[in-house]
Structure 1
Amino acid sequence: MPPRSHHVSRIGAAVAAFLMLTAGATVATTGTASASASASASASPGSTVADIVELLPLSTSKDRRIVDSQGRDMLLRGANVNSLGEYWQGVPKLDPTIPVSEADWERMAAHGFSVIRLLITWSRVEPTRGTIDQGYLDEVDAYVRSAAEHGMYSVIDMHQDAYSAFIFTTDPADCPDGTTPAKGWDGAPAWATLTDGLSTCLTNGERNSSPAVNRAWNHFYDNTDGIRDRFVATWGAVAKRFAGRSEVAGFDVLNEPENPKPAGELAPTYNEFLAETIGSIRAAQANAPFGQLILIEPALPAGDQSRGLVIPDPAAVNLDTTNVVASVHNYSESIENGFTIEGLNEVVDGLTTVIGVPNWGGEYGFWDTGPETLVKARRYATDEDRLAWGGAWWQWRQSCGDPHTLQWIDGKVVSPAGVEVHLNKQECPANIDLGPNDAFLDILGRGYPRATPGRITELRSDPDTGFLSMAATAPKPGGELVVWTPTTADSTHPVETRNLINVAETEVPGGRLITATVGSAGDYRLWVGPVDEAPAAPASPSGPAPTSGPSAPSAPPSGPASTPSAPTPSNTSATGRASVPLPPKFTG
């Protein structure tokens, strides 16, 4: 998640120095076909997304795509949900999280979500060493079922920030000059938080920079007292609970793991840790009819950028990458990291090409709705479409008691006055629900193909007009295409197709689901709105100049996506007072 301060983002300087050694590759080509058809509107008022879509088992393909059991190209798009995480409660009267309501689930579905990234916390899964809290997993199960009832997969994410909720400063007077008191965060249980009594004070303001957090990470990787073994076993218990559940897309091994030592020293240990955890998950699924996706992330030198980034290397530990997915969090231009949005995406695409796995953006997001920010958010959407990637916005809603919001001020932990701007808004410190953030939801909820027979070759979707253009190619006829559009069946948004038959539109809350069958093997197309068979070439991405390897363009993309086309939402709260967006400091 994003923090609230001015540090260099996790994938920042270290990425510039390391990742740019790999050249990126795009996946956008065009396709046409001969047969032409218009959609027959078969509106069914009262239908829901879950009435139309089936959450089939997911896997990875040899060409680095996430596919379902019918081989369809799947785009998983939605948001992070942190309601079940166990965060440090720095202000006793403010809960760090807010439960998801039925209205929330309905609103997610009405914006076309096909997935949630569901945060869980080791400290709640195994609060007592060796004992799995099945009651907590019941809560997780209930969220998974609720998401599925609204047509959404769940990616279960073992979340942490700054290692644990149990490392925090109690008396800021204990912090030497040049250091600052630390908040607690989330992650490991108290019994697995080994700090050797070192200082909790931050040496550079970044939440992982305290000696205590650094020591706790080293003990974890070194498997002191078997704590890493317990983490691996805990994942086995979670995977066993959800084995054979197709509505669970997969498991994110560990959110934004920290690198507490030089990358060259940690890399062998980190790769072994990933292999052990993935082995535990796969063993728990051995008797299931299918395996689920397993998402892995780089180890980030957030506390000290000089340590370098640790990129997972499955080959180093003979790890089979079947169903393994990279999950890189692209906060470029929302938190400074030296990259453009498009530039980092290109780097990630090149890196995952080398490793041989797909990428899914487990976190990204912005925290104000000013004109410049909305331009960036639209650019992110445009590039996500260009690459035909999925991802999860950080985040659905953030409590005023979340550590991301809380600050040490004048020797006390407080929730500053202002507005937490996420996909929903909260006025702080009173935790007043200001309702949905339409400026962001309209961008995230733009039209896209949920399930595509064959492979997507082109995707362009305009969140302002609702216009959509997609092309794909299928190896055989007969597969079913499923497309979400937030538009109604009107004269401005007709559905036109090439090489698709049995085209049908179903009204659902928030828009329509369009289904169609591929008429014959080869290319096919679908438009919502004007037919445009000759799109302009995508803009070139840009990023920081690499220290070695191929050069990167320096100019950001231009065109319609670079200019705001909607009025800026007001920053006036429900109480009528002018409100100030609270600045982000840390990623999720």
Structure 2
Amino acid sequence: MTIMSSTARCLGLVILLLGLTTPAAATPTAPELGHAGRWLTDELGRVVTLHGVNLVYKYPPYFPAAGGFGENDAQFLAENGFNAVRLGFAWNAVEPQPGVYDDNYIAQIKQTQQLLARYNIYSLIDSHQDAFNESVGASWSGFPYWATVTDGFPLQPDPGFPLVYFTSPAQNQTWANFWRDHAAPDGVGLQEHYAAMWAHVAQSFADEPYVLGYDLINEPWPGWEYPTCFPQGCPQFESGVLAPFEAKVMNAIRRVDPKHLLFYEPSVTNDFGTPNWMPNPTGDPNAGMSFHDYCVGPIDTCVSNGLARADLEGVVGLVTEFGATKDSAKLTRLADTFDDNMASWLFWSQPQNQTPGHPQEPPTGPNLMDPAIVRPYPHAIAGTPLQWHYDSATGTFTIRYSARRADSGEPFPREARTEVYLPQSNYPDGYQVEIQGANVVSVPDARLLQLTTNPGQDTVQVTVTRR
């Protein structure tokens, strides 16, 4: 057992050495993230965990910089330990007319991705919508007007997003026509337009560093079939309708980008805890499932359902939305649940809501996060995680991991490093570390605690406590 006491005297040096507040002079070249089963992995085979936020700007012109997101905000996220962003774009803005693409708009999204990359933050490029289009009751037009086919069904009753899903004939008929691949004004199917649009977008990001992958569609709604999805989920819709649609998108992207992870989504009804039946649409080995956690009730089934389904399909499971509240106690409980499941996650802040009672606020640093979700976590593990836990009351963080690779079961080289992020806000006077099976190789009180496994050790146990 090794015990190391530490203070805050070296904090300034550590920040400089680790580059947590100062970006590199040029955009870094980052190896792509892959996966070993449910685990994200880096080029060394280490298991990577992501803590991040959503960044979706829902007002014209639909890109974050127009809402004020800039250098200071990227730095703010990095300083609070966030290493991932779900970066949303609007199909409506990419393809304002059928077959006509706005490359200037895509360039704006790309500039934000490149800014985040300079702070070592991965971007999950996300095609975002909420209730399709304003003409059918959405709070913003994520999808185009020309793709919104109502067949004359009335909008009313329209209580606003998200209840409009359950009440509006126009809303549900629009989705029904989308799932039927109704022809756009130029005679090409809506789904073919969507897949081609995605290929056009992905082509711009295919060679960019710090791209996590592509989130194919945010919260797809079943349309008129939604009553069949409660309480047992949507097995027929997800396997028979949604999966073939997302397969078109995956195949289109793969023609321009063979390497990045493709994150497909199940029906939005899964957000509330119904069983998840979503298959890997193409069987692509480099895929993941993006799912959300807005479960209600005393038992959170969203995380277990999502991760269990991802594990069954042999893909990465990633919580790409949760929160939408300022209730610190609830956020702490959710973060604890994710830790218990060793899950990566991306937070949805309440200021990003755009509902009848809450217009979206500027997408700037403090509006994108909540102090309740800033906590220790393993950036990268030279091994396979077995358990980690953070007690926010005492500031005690524990982690236990196997020293063997998640992909092969083989041991890591002796110099391979495990990296644990320890926020200054959680350890204002420094911390001490108690270790079994490894040695500390970072400087005292580093925000990124670095460890190397001792020779012959199969398991490492680490406990971090406040000074």
Does the CA-based 8 Å contact 1:296-1:327 persist in structure 2?
A: yes
Change (3 A) 1:275 1:525: same
Q: CA deviation at 1:272?
A: 1.0
Deviation readout 1:108-147 (Å, 9 max, x if unpaired): 1121101011111101111122122111111111111111
Give the one of 340, 346, 350 matched to 2:299: 340
Does the CA-based 8 Å contact 2:277-2:309 persist in structure 1?
A: no
Q: CA deviation at 1:183?
A: 4.8
Q: CA deviation at 1:470?
A: 1.2
Q: Please say if 1:66 is aligned against 2:44.
A: no
Aligned to 2:438: 500
Structure 2 distance, partners of 1:381, 1:367, is 13
Structure 1 distance, partners of 2:288, 2:119, is 24
Residue type matched to 1:137 in 2? I
Name structure 1 gaps, 5 residues minimum. Answer: 1-34, 90-94, 169-181, 408-414, 421-425, 532-588
Q: Please say if 1:404 is aligned against 2:355.
A: yes
Does the CA-based 8 Å contact 2:68-2:363 persist in structure 1?
A: no
Greater share of residues in helix:
2
Give the one of 415, 431, 434 matched to 1:478: 415
Give the one of 238, 241, 246 matched to 1:274: 246
Q: CA deviation at 1:87?
A: 6.2
What TM-score results when the alignment is normalised by the length of structure 1?
0.66
Change (3 A) 1:88 1:312: farther
Q: What are the within-5 Å matches in structure 2 for residues 279-358 of structure 1?
A: 279-286=251-258, 291-300=259-268, 311-314=277-280, 319-333=282-296, 338=297, 340-341=299-300, 343-358=301-316
Name structure 2 gaps, 5 residues minimum. Answer: 184-188, 226-233, 405-410
Does the CA-based 8 Å contact 1:88-1:403 persist in structure 2?
A: no
Q: Which has the higher contact order (CA 8 A, sep 6+)?
A: 1
Does the CA-based 8 Å contact 1:470-1:525 persist in structure 2?
A: yes
Change (3 A) 1:147 1:39: farther
Give the one of 51, 62, 85 matched to 1:116: 85
**Local SS of the residue matching 1:450:** strand
Structure 1 distance, partners of 2:351, 2:307, is 29
Structure 2 distance, partners of 1:512, 1:432, is 26
Give the one of 198, 201, 208 matched to 1:245: 208
**Local SS of the residue matching 2:378:** strand
What TM-score results when the alignment is normalised by the length of structure 2?
0.81
Q: What are the within-5 Å matches in structure 2 for residues 40-189 of structure 1?
A: 43=11, 44=13, 46-47=15-16, 48-49=19-20, 55-62=30-37, 64-83=38-57, 85-86=58-59, 98-165=67-134, 167-168=135-136, 182-189=137-144
Structure 1 distance, partners of 2:402, 2:317, is 21
Structure 2 distance, partners of 1:183, 1:57, is 35
**Local SS of the residue matching 2:76:** helix
Change (3 A) 1:223 1:86: farther
**Local SS of the residue matching 1:388:** coil
- Structure 1 vs Structure 2 CA RMSD: 3.4
Structure 1 distance, partners of 2:168, 2:238, is 19
Q: Quote the sequence identity (%).
A: 24
Change (3 A) 1:140 1:265: closer
Q: Please say if 1:197 is aligned against 2:156.
A: no
Deviation readout 1:430-465 (Å, 9 max, x if unpaired): x899x9479x73321111111111111121123344
Structure 2 distance, partners of 1:351, 1:512, is 34
Change (3 A) 1:151 1:325: same
Give the one of 506, 512, 530 matched to 2:447: 512
Structure 2 distance, partners of 1:222, 1:512, is 51
Q: Please say if 1:364 is aligned against 2:364.
A: no
Residue type matched to 1:294 in 2? L
Q: CA deviation at 1:301?
A: 5.1
Aligned to 2:217: 254
Structure 2 distance, partners of 1:195, 1:152, is 40
Residue type matched to 1:522 in 2? D
Aligned to 1:441: 370
Change (3 A) 1:45 1:76: closer
Q: CA deviation at 1:528?
A: 2.0
Does the CA-based 8 Å contact 2:419-2:448 persist in structure 1?
A: yes
Q: CA deviation at 1:86?
A: 4.8
Residue type matched to 1:364 in 2? F
**Local SS of the residue matching 2:126:** strand
Does the CA-based 8 Å contact 2:323-2:350 persist in structure 1?
A: no
Aligned to 1:207: 164
Q: Could you tell which deviates more after superposition, 443-452 or 203-212?
A: 203-212
Does the CA-based 8 Å contact 2:243-2:278 persist in structure 1?
A: yes
Structure 2 distance, partners of 1:243, 1:453, is 27
Q: CA deviation at 1:55?
A: 4.3
Change (3 A) 1:515 1:272: same
Aligned to 2:186: none
Structure 2 distance, partners of 1:266, 1:348, is 14
Does the CA-based 8 Å contact 1:252-1:296 persist in structure 2?
A: yes
Structure 2 distance, partners of 1:240, 1:300, is 27
Q: CA deviation at 1:40?
A: 7.8
Q: CA deviation at 1:233?
A: 0.7
Structure 2 distance, partners of 1:456, 1:103, is 33
Change (3 A) 1:148 1:466: farther
Aligned to 1:454: 383
Aligned to 1:524: 460
Deviation readout 1:39-62 (Å, 9 max, x if unpaired): 788651552327799843111213
Does the CA-based 8 Å contact 1:239-1:281 persist in structure 2?
A: yes
Structure 1 distance, partners of 2:329, 2:435, is 30
Structure 1 distance, partners of 2:130, 2:108, is 21
**Local SS of the residue matching 1:529:** strand
